[in-house]
């Protein structure tokens, strides 16, 4: 019993000694030891959070400064055979020149092909290439070094001998069929129209150019068929139709394309175009960016299709074409007037497409009043009259925030600038569309992290005081003590860096 009592007395004496030490004043501004310990722990937490904050700031700065980069790809250069034909075959050159002279203006024959008006649903499930072949020029291409070569008989079986019921799209450059291969995979087969003598050789150039291009926002070209005069292209099958159908079709009173979905489609499309412009050598100008050429999968991921009008640009920044190719309403004004083609032409078309996405209106609609026929004119007028909120498609159930809408409208205005030199690059467009909707909130969140750390330190000191025998009657209420300890924490620990971060968070974040 004596031993037990002695042990109990020693333990109580030890507790009292520890409590006395914690309650004793130190040389640091006369603060008690438990307060100093709490301040040290709080400083450690605050410094850790500050380092984390600076790390996140620097990482975001690096992300903002980085340009959109894509996996590098190389487009095969035009074969020597094609170069020799174009450069030295004077007879063919004369024939081609005569053909161009006879087609100075969009005639009835070219109305669908050149202007791009589709006979059906504007290539609803696949993209295409340029016209394939001619009855007078037949070039066998058994293997061009990529993809799979399909025999004509294989594709006939897959499409039910190109039956009418398997037609999923028809345009000026060919008919698209749904096909099922022997391995049960579904594909889209485009049977290119067979006319114009140079078509077979142009088919080869287009296939070599686009065939090896791989990007998640571009429709994949799986293979081809070249037998006799027949030229066919086999693509991956995209199951959810095209953007035009979802924007202008009968979708009911509420569109399934929410604002977030539309922004996702716009960003994905911009990334695909940026890859064509900036991720390939030579770069590719699509020349026919429009809603019917944007295919959608089940998760609303966009895939750019129909490279039938695509143009390869080498080291030169511009190219002058003799025929204006594209779809009325999407064609850049400088290209329509002068034939001057560069990446800016696609940027303008994307600007029209983006305006179409947010408004739900067609680029040209003759059913509307005179001042609203052309989407671009109506859109600029609405912005000028400060009626931007009325631009949004009324079928969108949840309207976007004013800040989000203004950001996208600004991108539209920059892309459709009449001065092609002032239009942004597609990589910049991606960056602008992906920018944080509320960046100032993120800044405040980082500043609030430091404030939370200060409150945490104050609460820690409060708990320590309670656990070290601080008289309960002398304990003020928690909110008051938290406020008092926060003041002592800031003053005595001299963490002016916390205040500095709060004052300069905007500069750090930007």
Let me know whether 49 and 185 are in one domain: no
Does the residue 283 lie in any domain? yes
Does the residue 27 lie in any domain? yes
SS3 149: strand
Does the residue 9 lie in any domain? no
99 with 323: CB under 8 angstroms?
A: no
Which region holds residue 221: left if phi is over 0, alpha if psi is between -120 and 50, else beta? beta
Residue 324's Cβ-side half-sphere holds a number of Cα atoms within 13 Å equal to: 21
- Other CB atoms within a 10 A radius of the CB of residue 4 amount to 8
Does the residue 1 lie in any domain? no
Let me know whether 377 and 445 are in one domain: no
Q: Output the known binding site for ATP.
A: 190
Would you call 261 exposed, middle or buried from its count of C-beta atoms within 10 A (0-12, 13-18, 19+)? Answer: middle
Let me know whether 309 and 173 are in one domain: no
Q: Which of 202, 219, 223 is CA-nearest to residue 142?
A: 223
Let me know whether 456 and 429 are in one domain: no
- The strand pair at 174-180 and 167-171 is best described as antiparallel
- The strand pair at 73-74 and 280-281 is best described as parallel
Q: What is the CATH number of the domain that holds 183?
A: 3.30.200.20
Does the residue 38 lie in any domain? yes
Distances (CA, A) of 40 to 29, 36, 37, 98, 134: 14, 6, 5, 87, 84
Verify whether residue 365 is a known catalytic residue: no
The pLDDT tens digits for 139-196 are 444 445 567 889 999 999 999 999 999 998 876 677 899 999 999 999 999 888 776 5
Would you call 348 exposed, middle or buried from its count of C-beta atoms within 10 A (0-12, 13-18, 19+)? Answer: buried
Distances (CA, A) of 4 to 7, 10, 132: 5, 10, 103
Does the residue 72 lie in any domain? no
Rounded-to-integer distance, Cα 501 and Cα 447, Å:
7
36 with 26: CB under 8 angstroms?
A: yes
Q: Which of 186, 182, 187, 191 is CA-nearest to residue 164?
A: 191
Q: Output the known binding site.
A: 190
Rounded-to-integer distance, Cα 118 and Cα 244, Å:
12
Local confidence pLDDT in tens for the 510 residues of the chain = 555 555 556 666 666 777 777 777 777 777 788 888 888 898 889 898 888 888 887 776 665 554 434 333 333 333 333 223 233 343 344 343 444 344 333 333 333 333 333 434 434 444 443 333 333 334 444 445 567 889 999 999 999 999 999 998 876 677 899 999 999 999 999 888 776 554 565 566 567 657 778 899 999 888 888 888 888 889 999 989 999 999 999 999 999 999 999 999 999 999 999 999 999 888 888 889 999 999 999 999 999 988 877 777 765 566 766 567 778 899 999 988 988 888 999 999 999 999 999 999 999 999 999 889 999 999 999 999 999 999 999 999 999 999 999 999 999 999 999 999 999 999 999 999 998 644 444 444 554 555 555 555 555 555 555 554 445 445 444 455 555 555 555 544 444 444 444 444 444 444
Question: Which tokens go with 491?
Answer: 């003053």
Let me know whether 392 and 253 are in one domain: yes
Q: Which domain holds residue 149?
A: 116-236
Q: What's 221's DSSP letter?
A: E
Does the residue 164 lie in any domain? yes
Residue in the structure block whose two tokens are 């095969």: 76
Rounded-to-integer distance, Cα 157 and Cα 467, Å:
83
Catalytic annotation, pick one of 288, 297, 365, 419: 288
Rounded-to-integer distance, Cα 433 and Cα 2, Å:
80
42 with 457: CB under 8 angstroms?
A: yes
Which of 388, 418, 437 is where one domain is finished? 437
Rounded-to-integer distance, Cα 264 and Cα 478, Å:
47
135 with 199: CB under 8 angstroms?
A: no
Let me know whether 416 and 446 are in one domain: no
458 with 482: CB under 8 angstroms?
A: yes
Let me know whether 276 and 378 are in one domain: yes
Backbone angles phi, psi at 235, to 5 degrees: -120, 165
Which of 218, 236, 254 is where one domain is finished? 236
405 with 388: CB under 8 angstroms?
A: yes
Let me know whether 225 and 209 are in one domain: yes
Residue in the structure block whose two tokens are 């920018």: 435
SS3 11: helix
How confident is the model at residue 486, as a pLDDT? Answer: 54
Let me know whether 53 and 130 are in one domain: no
Let me know whether 374 and 362 are in one domain: yes
Distances (CA, A) of 495 to 15, 27, 47, 362: 33, 19, 9, 59
Residue in the structure block whose two tokens are 């005081």: 465
Residue in the structure block whose two tokens are 């006799």: 228
Does the residue 88 lie in any domain? no
How confident is the model at residue 122, as a pLDDT? Answer: 39
Question: Which tokens go with 483?
Answer: 């406020």
Per the structure, the count of domains in the chain is 3
Let me know whether 305 and 413 are in one domain: yes
Let me know whether 403 and 307 are in one domain: yes
Which of 236, 259, 294 is where one domain is finished? 236
Q: What's 386's DSSP letter?
A: T
């Amino acid at each position: 019993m004596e031993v037990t009592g002695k042990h109990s007395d020693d333990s109580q004496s030890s507790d009292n000694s520890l409590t006395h030490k914690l309650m004793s004043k130190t040389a640091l501004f006369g603060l008690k030891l438990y307060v100093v310990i709490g301040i040290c722990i709080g400083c450690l937490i605050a410094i850790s959070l500050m380092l984390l904050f600076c790390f996140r700031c620097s990482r975001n700065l690096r992300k903002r400064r980085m340009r959109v980069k894509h996996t590098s790809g190389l487009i095969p250069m035009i074969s020597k055979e094609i170069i020799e034909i174009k450069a030295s075959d004077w007879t063919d050159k004369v024939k081609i020149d005569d053909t161009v002279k006879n087609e100075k203006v969009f005639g009835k024959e070219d109305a669908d092909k050149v202007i791009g008006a589709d006979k059906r649903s504007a290539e609803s499930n696949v993209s295409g290439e340029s016209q394939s072949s001619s009855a007078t020029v037949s070039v066998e291409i058994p293997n061009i070094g990529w993809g799979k070569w399909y025999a004509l008989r294989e594709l006939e079986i897959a499409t039910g001998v190109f039956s009418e019921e398997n037609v999923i799209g028809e345009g000026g450059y060919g008919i698209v069929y749904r096909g099922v291969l022997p391995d049960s995979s579904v594909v889209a087969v485009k049977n290119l129209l067979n006319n114009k003598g140079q078509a077979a050789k142009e088919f080869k150039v287009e296939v070599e150019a686009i065939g090896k291009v791989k990007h998640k926002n571009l429709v994949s070209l799986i293979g081809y068929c070249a037998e006799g005069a027949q030229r066919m292209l086999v693509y991956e099958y995209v199951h959810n139709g095209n953007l035009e159908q979802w924007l202008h079709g009968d979708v009911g009173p509420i569109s399934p394309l929410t604002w977030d979905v539309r922004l996702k489609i716009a960003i994905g499309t911009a990334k695909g175009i940026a890859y064509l412009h900036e991720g390939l050598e030579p770069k590719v100008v699509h020349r026919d960016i429009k809603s019917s050429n944007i295919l959608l999968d089940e998760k609303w991921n966009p895939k750019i299709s129909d490279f039938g009008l695509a143009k390869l640009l080498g080291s030169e920044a511009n190219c002058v074409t003799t025929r204006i190719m594209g779809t009325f309403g999407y064609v850049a004004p400088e290209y329509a007037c002068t034939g001057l083609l560069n990446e800016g032409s696609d940027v303008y078309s994307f600007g029209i497409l983006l305006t179409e996405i947010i408004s739900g209106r067609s680029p040209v609609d003759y059913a509307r009043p005179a001042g609203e026929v052309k989407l671009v004119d109506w859109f600029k007028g609405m912005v000028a009259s400060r009626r931007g909120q009325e631009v949004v498609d009324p079928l969108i159930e949840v309207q976007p925030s004013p800040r989000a809408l203004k950001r996208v409208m600004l991108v539209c205005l920059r892309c459709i600038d009449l001065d092609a030199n002032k239009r942004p690059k597609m990589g910049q467009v991606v960056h602008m569309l992906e920018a944080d909707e509320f960046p100032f909130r993120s800044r405040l969140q980082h500043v609030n992290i430091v404030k939370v750390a200060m409150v945490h330190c104050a609460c820690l000191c409060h708990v320590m005081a309670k656990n070290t025998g601080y008289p309960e009657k002398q304990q003020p209420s928690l909110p008051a003590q938290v406020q008092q300890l926060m003041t002592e924490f800031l003053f005595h620990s001299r963490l002016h860096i916390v205040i500095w971060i709060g004052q300069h968070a905007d500069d750090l974040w930007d």
